Structure 1
């Protein structure tokens, strides 16, 4: 890839329950990148309320050549919606972005430069800073492995990429079948399939995205449905040779522990062992 070809698409999916103000902040963070995107693809996953439609209409009017909107008649879930968006992305490099997070201004330029330096690279992410109410008040950092070999090991039990921080090659994602038909962990399923199909991954050892979390995240992690879904995903990895039986047992025990652990202790455990706490 030549430096003169520093073009990329941004891929987002939005549904009816998103917050319009958060959505605006997310869009602004991508529009104001130090290396601006050539295209922003927004998938409307089902009918949207007027407040969200007006946000999209305003940005389309302000930037008429930047946005491509994909309208879906009904909500089909994040994975399937992103597959529809990928089909219309014009560029090989696609930056994922969620509609309530905030990218740092240098994020995409740093990622595009990595692809230029290493033509074999397929997917690149970064660490993320998590906040509750104000982006200026970071509460923790989710650190992911940087090198490809460490990413492969990490992926046996946990997601080796922070999904809203990744940039990947469209052709490689489609060649691996795109996002699977899962309501949860669609990104983990895709990333593991890509890695085990020979795709090269990397994470920039820097937080390039502000992730909007909240106190209810710990409650959701404890839900039976979420724990069951994660166990089933790692079981699927084991049966397909991506993970070992020992990896599956570790995940099974940890998810049962999460299900039984009080929320306050789960929060302490996450902040002290699974996240890098910000003082």
Structure 2
């Protein structure tokens, strides 16, 4: 991907139940860490005030230079983190979404190293980094570095838990929007990121920078501290659903195989697979696409049906010109449905 095609919208949700000097100082530190990236591409900072009793924008002058060029989005009533995140994603003008919380910090070179990954791989859709746990005064607790390759990230997801430190994520806006943003379901409260990654990693290529380039502030008011048990229960549901396929290690090769037989990019193969999984349309596609799709869509069954006007070409489903299709020896029309 060309550098000129990359631009970043930083989504920073904030809810200050009570204003304090500490809250403002932590927010200033977060904003300064964005500015310290010295990004050479277009970017914006979207500060989403999730109904704080005193609007955060009232403190522009106190925040000083750190608040320069910030776009202030005010939600009148507190509706929770998921709504704030999705509000920011909908408002974003740029191609990549970066995520940061109001008490966390990016370390210098974080964005540069992630942008290098996107520039060298057009199929990459999401990148994260390692993180350091720190106290509110910035003192170090411990580091967490996760595997950097696609298979390693999938193994971590199934065997351990959430592979991406949320505030380290840089990801393609078009995939966020395709997947409908962060889920609002009450079953996954306080686990919205892990739930979204459970769908994302199944269909789209991830990467990690295996360095600690993000500081996560541990405090008594953090989500994991207040809602830890609920978060763990929701995580177990997501983890068990993903593990049912017992095919996590085969997903990358299956998506590459699908892309090869259709003559499309790996990202478009992921989009097609997701649309088949989510909407279960009648579809006409080459017969050789069935084997990789059975791996990717392990919780869907496929049945051949009579061709009719209701079926559509896989290229039409993606909005691609039909000339992009390879010339398969056989085509089938079929329907995917839930097992």
1:102 to 97, 105, 124: 105
Between the aligned partners of 1:82 and 1:190, the Cα distance in structure 2 is 12
- 8 Å CA contact 1:77, 1:183 repeated in 2: no
Measured against aligned partners, the alpha-carbon deviations of 1:163-191 in whole angstroms (never above 9, x if no partner) come to 00010000011111210014311000111
- Matched with 2:151 is 149
Between the aligned partners of 2:208 and 2:224, the Cα distance in structure 1 is 28
1:92 to 91, 95, 102: 95
If the length of structure 2 is used for normalisation, what is the TM-score? 0.63
Q: 207-216 vs 150-159, which deviates more?
A: 207-216
Measured against aligned partners, the alpha-carbon deviations of 1:179-237 in whole angstroms (never above 9, x if no partner) come to 001431100011111111x2110110101111111478799389543443333333454
Q: 1:233 to 1:76 in 2, by over 3 A?
A: farther
2:236 to 206, 231, 249: 231
- Matched with 2:191 is 185
Q: Does 1:40 align with 2:42?
A: no
Greater Rg over alpha carbons, structure:
2
Structure 2: gaps spanning 5 or more residues: 249-339
Between the aligned partners of 2:224 and 2:13, the Cα distance in structure 1 is 24
- Matched with 2:72 is 69
What is the DSSP-based 3-state SS (H/G/I as helix, E as strand, rest coil) of the residue aligned with 1:94?
strand
Structure 1: gaps spanning 5 or more residues: 245-279
Between the aligned partners of 2:222 and 2:100, the Cα distance in structure 1 is 19
Measured against aligned partners, the alpha-carbon deviations of 1:3-38 in whole angstroms (never above 9, x if no partner) come to 234421111101123711101100011012132662
Between the aligned partners of 1:235 and 1:190, the Cα distance in structure 2 is 14
- Matched with 2:13 is 13
Q: 1:153 to 1:42 in 2, by over 3 A?
A: same
Measured against aligned partners, the alpha-carbon deviations of 1:63-88 in whole angstroms (never above 9, x if no partner) come to 66x32222212112112211111011
Between the aligned partners of 2:226 and 2:148, the Cα distance in structure 1 is 25
Measured against aligned partners, the alpha-carbon deviations of 1:221-273 in whole angstroms (never above 9, x if no partner) come to 8954344333333345456x4889xxxxxxxxxxxxxxxxxxxxxxxxxxxxx
Root-mean-square deviation (CA), in Å? 2.8
- Matched with 2:204 is 199
What is the DSSP-based 3-state SS (H/G/I as helix, E as strand, rest coil) of the residue aligned with 2:30?
helix
Between the aligned partners of 1:55 and 1:216, the Cα distance in structure 2 is 21
Between the aligned partners of 2:59 and 2:150, the Cα distance in structure 1 is 39
Q: 1:70 to 1:243 in 2, by over 3 A?
A: farther
Between the aligned partners of 1:56 and 1:96, the Cα distance in structure 2 is 21
Q: Whose RCO is larger (CA < 8 A, sep 6+)?
A: 1
Between the aligned partners of 1:9 and 1:53, the Cα distance in structure 2 is 19
- 8 Å CA contact 2:57, 2:72 repeated in 1: no
- 8 Å CA contact 2:13, 2:47 repeated in 1: yes
Q: Does 1:139 align with 2:141?
A: yes
Q: How many residues align?
A: 239
Between the aligned partners of 2:52 and 2:112, the Cα distance in structure 1 is 33
If the length of structure 1 is used for normalisation, what is the TM-score? 0.76
